[in-house]
Structure 1
Amino acid sequence: MENITFGAEGISVSVDLAVGHIADLVIERDGRRLKPLHRAPWIGEPREALPGTLPDGVLRLSGDFLCAPFSRADVEPAPLHGWPANSAWDVTGCAATPDGWRASLRLRRKVMGATVDKILVLRHGHPFLYQEHVFTGGEGAISVAHHAMTVMKEGGRLAFSPKRLAGTGDEALEPDPARGRSLLAYPARSTDITRFPAADGDAVDLRDYRPERLQEDFVTLVEAEPAGLGWTAVARKAEDDLVLVLKNPAELPVTMLWISNGGRDYAPWSGRHRGVLGIEDGRAAVGHAASLGDNWLKREGVATAFELGGRVAFRQVIGALPVGSSQLPDRVEAQAGSLRLATAGGGRIEVPFDAAFLCIRAVEPV
């Protein structure tokens, strides 16, 4: 069995068991069918037509997946983003629950000696996929991140929980103009995400995803508060919906944005990987060795790895709502049993949500 598909009222999910990627997420709400996640355009193409050196995680790039480590696996040998993103998972449980559905998967390989489990939960009437990853045992430390990806045909607007800092690494993703293009400055830091330094000396508003701006860039956002709800909202223009990615900042203190919009000219990207935004909540720097050693995030007081040896768990939530870009929130709050979104214009949206899943304290309704 290569894929597993299961659902609850108003939501279904498919997992590519060959690599552990979320192959599809479908949310049915208010008479609409939303598909918030991205699949690479080369999936399904003949293997011989693609570069032979591509890791399986790139060949089957889709939806969301666990990175462990994040980026380069330069401590324990593994492909890019580690074995959880590139090798097989087994189903250890998949059954209906009183309020929805629960599936459990286990990575066939171990990571730094640890057993890795993926738990996926759907709840009736909730427009969210609840995910948990658990590392049991092992030695040393591991950097981790989710790799959720959405796609926008005509761009969109972004909003975030408050961030205290945004930064790029030492090198651009695509420094060679013969192969692609990066538009942000590297390295760069800014406490204002509306004016992040660009390579041409200008500034870029990281909240604005413009389809005409061809680029391949990577920038890390640091949460302003270590407690409460961490969130990213993407109002997709053509799709006319709102994609939400939620986390506990105490577990995953950074959100890394991968802006992939026609910025790579070589195969398999070939200028056709457009409108993609990676929303990569993690505890990581770029590369396993860098995450364990000195790095700019650690100097800012940000944890970039989990210590292994016992039980390590972290969670993330992905969902979508059938609301247009005019309802991009400026505040998102978890209440007991619901998620409340408030817009600058005074609008309010409330949907079913399990705040306890992220181990955060629900706010009192006003």
Structure 2
Amino acid sequence: MDTLTIGARGISVSLDLAVGHISAMEVEAEGRLLKPLHRAPWVGSPRETLPANLPEGTVRLSGDFLCAPFSTSDVETAPLHGWPANSEWDVVDNGAVPGGWRAVVRLRRKVMGATVDKVFTLRDDHPFLYQEHIFSGGAGAISVAHHPMTAMTGGGRLAFSPKRMAVTPPMPPEPDPARGRFMLAYPARAADLTKFPLAAGGTTDLTDYRMEDRREDFITLVEADHDGPGWTAIARRAEQDLVLVLKNPAELPVTMLWFSNGGRDYAPWSGRHVGVLGIEDGRTAVGHAASLGDNWLKHEGVATVFALAEGRSVSFRHVIGGVPSADVEPPSGLESAPDRLRVLAAGGAAREVPFDGGFLRIGGSVPD
């Protein structure tokens, strides 16, 4: 079996077991079928038509996947984003539970000696995928991140839970103009997300995804101190929906944004990977060794790894969803209650969506 598909009333999710990527997610709401997650245009192409050295996770780039480590695997040998994003998973448990469905899959390989389980839960009439990753045993420490991607055909507007700062790395993703292009200044930082420095001078609004900005950019947002969930909301104009991504900031203290809008000219990207936004919630710097070392996030008091040990388990949770929305502006805030999520409009109105408010364990203990 190459694909595991699970469903509850109003929602279905498919997992590509060859690489652990979500290959499809569909939400039925208000007579519409929403598809909040992206799949790369080359997925399914004959392998011989793609570069021979392409990691399997890029060959099958889809939806969301676990990065462990995030970015370069330069401590334990593995492809980009680690074995969880590039190798096979086995179904351990899969079946109906009261009010929904639950599936557990396990990575065939180990990461730093740890067994890795992925747990998906769907609930009837909830427009969300609830997921948890559990590392059991192992030694040393691992950086992690989720890698959900959405795509827009007409751009969109972004909103976030409170952030302390936005920071670009020392080098852009595509520094060679013969291969691609970028817009943001590298390195740079700003506290105001609507006024981030540009490479060409001036500033740009990170909350406005414009289709005319053909570029490949990467930036890290650091969560501010607050007592609610961390979240990102994307109001997709043409799709007329709202993509929602939520986390526990104590578990995943950074949100990395990947703006991929026709900014790479070489295969397999070939200028055709457009309108894509990665919302990469993590506990990481860029690269495994960097996450373990004396990185800039540690200087800001931000954890960048989970410690692993025999006889011990560490886990973190994440939520992805989508709801219909004709509003071109994203919400001004999200408020979690035990059985619902309140989506606050800029004008003060609110809509309520079924939601498991206890899932993210806000206020609970978090492993080192």
- Give per-residue Cα distances to partners, 1:167-220, cap 9 Å, x unaligned: 010100000000000110111111111101110111111100000000000000
1:329 deviates by: 0.6
Question: In 2, are the aligned partners of 1:227 and 1:248 still within 8 Å (CA)?
Answer: no
Structure 1, 144-153 or 338-347: larger mean CA deviation:
338-347
- Give per-residue Cα distances to partners, 1:207-263, cap 9 Å, x unaligned: 000000000000000011164210000000110100000000000000000000000
Question: In 2, are the aligned partners of 1:157 and 1:325 still within 8 Å (CA)?
Answer: no
Q: 1:314 aligns with which of 316, 331, 339?
A: 316
> In the alignment, what sits opposite 2:362?
360
1:275 deviates by: 0.2
Question: In 1, are the aligned partners of 2:214 and 2:261 still within 8 Å (CA)?
Answer: yes
> In the alignment, what sits opposite 1:252?
252
Question: In 1, are the aligned partners of 2:38 and 2:63 still within 8 Å (CA)?
Answer: yes
1:328 deviates by: 1.7
Question: In 2, are the aligned partners of 1:227 and 1:250 still within 8 Å (CA)?
Answer: no
The whole-number CA distance in structure 2 between the counterparts of 1:284 and 1:324 is 35
- Give per-residue Cα distances to partners, 1:66-106, cap 9 Å, x unaligned: 00000000000000000000000000000001110000000
Question: In 1, are the aligned partners of 2:344 and 2:351 still within 8 Å (CA)?
Answer: yes
Paired amino acid for 1:281? D
The whole-number CA distance in structure 2 between the counterparts of 1:245 and 1:302 is 20
Alignment of 1:1-366 (within 5 A): 1-225=1-225, 227-309=227-309, 310-326=312-328, 328-360=330-362
- Percent of aligned positions that are identical: 68
- Give per-residue Cα distances to partners, 1:327-360, cap 9 Å, x unaligned: 5211101012000011111221101100111002
**Which structure 2 residue ranges, 5 or more long, are not aligned?**
none
1:57 deviates by: 0.2
Aligned residues: 362
Kindly tell me: are residues 227 and 73 of structure 1, through their superposed partners in 2, closer, same or farther at Cα, counting changes over 3 Å? farther
Paired amino acid for 1:114? A
1:361 deviates by: 5.8
SS of equivalent residue, structure 2 residue 362: coil
SS of equivalent residue, structure 1 residue 267: coil
The whole-number CA distance in structure 2 between the counterparts of 1:273 and 1:127 is 27
- Give per-residue Cα distances to partners, 1:113-157, cap 9 Å, x unaligned: 000000000000100000000000000000000000000001000
SS of equivalent residue, structure 2 residue 281: strand
Kindly tell me: are residues 10 and 327 of structure 1, through their superposed partners in 2, closer, same or farther at Cα, counting changes over 3 Å? farther
The whole-number CA distance in structure 2 between the counterparts of 1:20 and 1:290 is 24
Structure 1, 293-302 or 54-63: larger mean CA deviation:
293-302
The whole-number CA distance in structure 1 between the counterparts of 2:329 and 2:61 is 30
TM-score by length of 1: 0.98
The whole-number CA distance in structure 2 between the counterparts of 1:176 and 1:267 is 15
SS of equivalent residue, structure 1 residue 145: strand
The whole-number CA distance in structure 1 between the counterparts of 2:131 and 2:108 is 19
1:316 deviates by: 0.3
Question: In 2, are the aligned partners of 1:119 and 1:132 still within 8 Å (CA)?
Answer: yes
The whole-number CA distance in structure 1 between the counterparts of 2:346 and 2:36 is 24
SS of equivalent residue, structure 1 residue 329: coil
The whole-number CA distance in structure 1 between the counterparts of 2:248 and 2:357 is 10
SS of equivalent residue, structure 1 residue 185: coil
Paired amino acid for 1:27? V
The whole-number CA distance in structure 1 between the counterparts of 2:182 and 2:133 is 32
**Which structure 1 residue ranges, 5 or more long, are not aligned?**
none
The whole-number CA distance in structure 2 between the counterparts of 1:326 and 1:199 is 28
Question: In 2, are the aligned partners of 1:62 and 1:149 still within 8 Å (CA)?
Answer: yes
